[in-house]
């Protein structure tokens, strides 16, 4: 059986600096890899106008794959009172569900809305949302890859950034790990970061692996800011192994620049081969 594949993009920021060749090569990559799902973790638009949301939706639907799409902090009005009175109206014109769920025999994805209108950049999750994620993952078929997706990052940015991680990061991460999440993905900082549970937590006994991933940005909201890369992740999973393949936009094409492998269970990589 071929490996399960999942494409993860984030921070499209439609309405800023768009290049048709980026989208065309992205479509070619998706067609070549044939993922079960394309996952978009927020900031589809830059200023949350109807035109920008429509533009982002056209890009994502043009990939011709099933989609799970959740909002980011740029997907709400930038200023009060609309920010509080019509928070998700434009986003919901394209994506009615703020916390969509994807279920199949090999993959379960639970989207969580971490956007809070009273926070300009910061995000949060409530206890009820974490409980919802636990219930969704508990119903996953045996062997299915269990994924949780949100916009605000759980790993610190590797390079310069003033953006803090999600509120109560340790308790949120602990709750998602305890809920059975094997892959936790986010965006927000436009920088790739990857970590595995056993790299930061002492574990005992037969525990599952949990890989935490922050996506680079697909779009370029600040074209004059040097050093902000453009990229995406492709995940591959079989019964024993999860691979995180990182792609960057280099020399006018999507080029794979990294391949990280993590065991899904208790076996070390040396035993998996």
- 110 alpha carbon, distance to own chain's centre: 11
Question: Residue 141: what are its φ and ψ, rounded to 5°?
Answer: -60, 155
pLDDT in tens, the chain (273 residues): 889 999 999 999 998 766 788 889 999 999 999 999 999 999 999 999 999 999 999 999 999 999 999 999 999 999 999 999 999 999 999 999 999 999 999 999 999 999 999 987 889 999 999 999 999 999 999 999 999 999 999 998 888 777 889 999 999 999 999 999 999 999 999 999 999 998 888 887 778 899 999 999 998 755 555 567 789 999 999 999 999 999 999 888 999 999 999 999 888 888 886
**Strand pairing report for 37-41 and 67-70:** parallel
Q: Quote the tokens at residue 247.
A: 């792609």
**Which of 26, 95, 103, 93 minimizes the C-alpha distance to 59?**
26
- Domain of 11 in residue numbering reads as 4-272
* Phi then psi dihedrals of residue 11, to 5 deg: 55, 60
Total tally of structural domains belonging to the chain: 1
pTM for this predicted structure: 0.95
* Residue 42 tokens, joined: 């927020």
What is the CATH classification number for the domain harbouring 125?
A: 3.60.21.10
């Amino acid at each position: 059986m071929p490996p399960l594949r999942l494409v993860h993009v984030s921070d499209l920021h439609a309405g800023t600096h768009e290049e048709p060749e980026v989208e065309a090569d992205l479509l070619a990559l998706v067609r070549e890899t044939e993922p079960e799902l394309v996952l978009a973790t927020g900031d589809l638009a830059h200023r949350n106008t109807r035109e920008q949301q429509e533009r982002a939706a056209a890009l994502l639907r043009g990939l011709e794959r099933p989609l799970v799409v959740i909002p980011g902090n740029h997907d709400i009005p930038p200023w009060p009172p609309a920010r509080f009175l019509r928070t998700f109206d434009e986003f919901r014109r394209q994506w009615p569900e703020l916390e969509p769920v994807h279920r199949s025999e090999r993959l379960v994805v639970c989207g969580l809305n971490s956007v809070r209108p009273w926070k300009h950049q910061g995000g949060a999750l409530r206890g009820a949302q974490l409980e919802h994620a636990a219930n969704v993952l508990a119903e996953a078929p045996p062997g299915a890859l269990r994924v949780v997706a949100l916009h605000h990052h759980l790993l610190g940015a590797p390079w310069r950034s003033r953006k803090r991680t999600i509120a109560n990061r340790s308790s949120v991460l602990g709750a998602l790990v305890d809920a059975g999440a094997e892959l936790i993905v986010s965006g927000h900082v436009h920088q790739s970061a990857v970590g595995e549970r056993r790299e930061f937590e002492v574990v005992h006994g037969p525990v599952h692996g949990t890989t935490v991933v922050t996506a680079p940005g697909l779009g370029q909201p600040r074209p004059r800011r040097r050093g902000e890369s453009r990229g995406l992740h492709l995940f591959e999973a079989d019964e024993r192994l999860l691979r995180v393949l990182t792609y960057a936009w280099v020399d006018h094409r999507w080029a794979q620049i990294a391949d990280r492998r993590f065991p899904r269970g208790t076996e070390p990589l040396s035993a998996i081969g």
